[in-house]
Structure 1
Amino acid sequence: MTEHIKIVEVGPRDGLQNEKQFVDSAVKIELVDRLSAAGFANIEAASFVSPKWVPQMADGAHVMAGIARRPGTIYSVLVPNLRGFEGALAARADEIVIFGAASEAFSQRNINCSIAESIARFEPVAAAAKEAGLRLRGSISCALGCPYQGETPVAAVVDVAERLLRLGCDEIDVADTIGVGTAAQVGRVLRAVGQVADLGTRVSGHFHDTYGQALANILAALDCGVRIFHSSVAGLGGCPYAKGATGNVATEDVLYLLRGQGLDTGIDLDAVVDIGQWISERIGRPTSSRAGRALALKKAP
């Protein structure tokens, strides 16, 4: 049987949150619905953070109320605290996403506390999620590099992974937030994380394409045994630490790569190409996906 790879589509949340012009709620709802119909098993649909900090995500409750839920699909939301969790619970989220940095400098510069303190803040959120019977996912940002301190020590990534697992996380995201990682580095980090968590079932790769390394890094992660990856349709989502740089790796490119490797995702690539063209038109800029552009041109009359 063909080996299955799980793709977590992050476009509706991680992708759109950096858009400067507000994307209408109806467009966000349609984006999630189109992605559901294309076969994604897990979609990051919204976040429940303060609209003061992320105004693009202020309509999270409305989006979650408006989507047509596909049986078997996990709809995830990002939450920073108990207040956000309460909103996510009311919105019937299937999975709660919490986050911590592997870089002390990043943690101090962004939320004015240490890594340990930042994760301790999630203890009540994790406990509430478990009590409610929800899946819990923990994301490790700056796992391969930090805009303030450079390369992230492997031991720091493992430490955060262990802390998140102790909170009860079902899945751990190893995230290259600024896209500086290389294949050899990915191998070193993931093999170390694999000492504390099963790479095939509990660890995901979240790679940004700032330096054009995301697909190579995915191949390196596959070689290590990782079978869960994050991507964003049309490459939605810029990199806030590298002006004008590409952020999230494009879903179309990832699906094309995996298909070439003979791996199954259960996702309709042609449908995702159409979705990528559609959302790019809605936000007024071309797709960042090379495979998406090439396949769209082949389909054009």
Structure 2
Amino acid sequence: MSTTRELGLPTAVPSPAFQADTVEIWEVGPRDGLQAEKTVLDVDTKVELIERLARAGARIIEAGSFVRADRVPQMADSAAVMARVADIDARTPVLVPNLRGYELARDAGADDIAFFLSVTESFSQQNLGASRERMEQAAEAVVARAVADGVRVRGYLSMVFGDPWEGAVDVADVVRLASVMRGWGIEQLSLGDTIGVATPGQVRAVVRTLAAHGIPVGSLALHMHDTYGMAVANVYAGLEEGVRVFDAAAGGVGGCPFAKSATGNLATDDLVWMLEGLGIRTGIDLDALTETSIWLTRALGKTPASRVATALTR
């Protein structure tokens, strides 16, 4: 396997637009990545994955999800995973769908949570079998409890850029949901391209529209999928608009088990390659990350979706 050092890559020349900027990378492979994979990894392998990512320099690693095991069996052992990664040098947020999930997460020691809501009615019904109204009520209760408990909370918005059942998504619906979530006290909102159909122009338009309606760009993150190969380009568009938080999964694992034709998440390897090339330091050792991506995808019985990991293994 080649390394970035052996390739003798030129020193990055920082882009004037991003000089002195830093970004925050949310590594979602152990949660959003693994929950969409057919192969179910055991606790030991999941713990090793999180430890490897932390050693590579990841500082935020979604460790699991406290959802119904019959819906997402890949996450059924999240409590056991949390017990074994409590002391790693990274934040380990977990996903919760409702108060019951929140209580289970808290019992497992979680002090950093996330929840998600759908911009579209169809995806809400298909994903959790409940209306947007009902899911928003459940989420509001979770946020109220978390705020009272002093727990960090992040909000995911699914189907921001397109829906497989409804097609194009009206940005007004995105503004409505983002405004509601901000009203609950959510400080960070992750905009999800759940089926990977977004384009850079669309990313710019959505971010600008949210900003025009009082949603600070600094409160936004981008969660891109790479179905049409646009994930890195969409991140660049987000950078130009002032977004500095990006979600990604090592090796590009995962996708969306409830959305039609969705392929993997943006690969963390590819994201780091681009950011470092712009002179934006991420704190992540790309060689250690790609080694982890290759190890992970082998454990899953597949090849990495990451272009960088693939290139370095040739």
TM-score, structure 1 as length reference: 0.93
What is the CA-CA distance between 1:68 and the residue it aligns to? 5.3
Q: Identify the residue that residue 108 of structure 2 maps to in structure 1.
A: 91
Secondary structure, in 3 states, of the residue corresponding to 2:63?
strand
Q: Identify the residue that residue 87 of structure 2 maps to in structure 1.
A: 69
Give distance in 2, aligned partners of 1:58 and 1:117: 24
Secondary structure, in 3 states, of the residue corresponding to 1:249?
coil
Q: Identify the residue that residue 155 of structure 2 maps to in structure 1.
A: 138
1:51-66 superposed matches below 5 A: 51-66=69-84
Q: Identify the residue that residue 266 of structure 1 maps to in structure 2.
A: 283
Give distance in 2, aligned partners of 1:194 and 1:295: 39
Give distance in 2, aligned partners of 1:108 and 1:22: 25
1:52-201 superposed matches below 5 A: 52-67=70-85, 69-71=87-89, 73-195=90-212, 196-200=214-218
Secondary structure, in 3 states, of the residue corresponding to 1:140?
strand
Matched residue type, 2:79: A
Give distance in 2, aligned partners of 1:78 and 1:111: 14
Give distance in 2, aligned partners of 1:12 and 1:111: 21
- Bigger RCO of structures 1 and 2 (CA < 8 A, at least 6 apart): 2
TM-score, structure 2 as length reference: 0.90
What is the CA-CA distance between 1:123 and the residue it aligns to? 1.8
Give distance in 2, aligned partners of 1:47 and 1:113: 19
CA deviations over 1:241-266 (Å, ceiling 9, x no partner)? 344x5220111000001111111111
Please state if 1:249 is matched with 2:266. Answer: yes
Q: Which runs of 5+ in 2 are unaligned?
A: 1-18
Indicate the larger mover: 171-180 or 118-127. 118-127
Matched residue type, 2:233: A
- The number of residues matched between the two structures is 294
Do the aligned partners of 2:117 and 2:156 also contact (CA within 8 Å) in 1? yes
Secondary structure, in 3 states, of the residue corresponding to 1:143?
coil
Q: Identify the residue that residue 30 of structure 1 maps to in structure 2.
A: 48
Give distance in 1, aligned partners of 2:130 and 2:111: 29
Do the aligned partners of 2:153 and 2:186 also contact (CA within 8 Å) in 1? yes
Q: Compared with structure 1, are the counterparts of its residues 112 and 238 closer, same or farther at alpha carbon in structure 2 (3 Å cutoff)?
A: closer
Matched residue type, 1:194: A
Secondary structure, in 3 states, of the residue corresponding to 1:151?
coil
Alignment match of 1:48 (pick from 54, 59, 66): 66
Please state if 1:12 is matched with 2:34. Answer: no
Give distance in 2, aligned partners of 1:47 and 1:108: 20
What is the CA-CA distance between 1:60 and the residue it aligns to? 0.4
What is the CA-CA distance between 1:112 and the residue it aligns to? 4.3
Give distance in 2, aligned partners of 1:189 and 1:15: 25
Alignment match of 1:216 (pick from 233, 248, 252): 233
Give distance in 2, aligned partners of 1:68 and 1:295: 32
What is the CA-CA distance between 1:93 and the residue it aligns to? 1.8
Runs of 4+ that moved beyond 4 A: none
Q: Compared with structure 1, are the counterparts of its residues 105 and 210 closer, same or farther at alpha carbon in structure 2 (3 Å cutoff)?
A: same
Do the aligned partners of 2:195 and 2:263 also contact (CA within 8 Å) in 1? no
Secondary structure, in 3 states, of the residue corresponding to 1:75?
coil
Matched residue type, 1:6: E
What's the Cα RMSD here? 1.5
Please state if 1:39 is matched with 2:57. Answer: yes
Matched residue type, 1:44: E
Do the aligned partners of 1:181 and 1:213 also contact (CA within 8 Å) in 2? yes
Percent of residue pairs identical: 44
Question: As a proportion of its length, which structure holds more strand?
Answer: 1
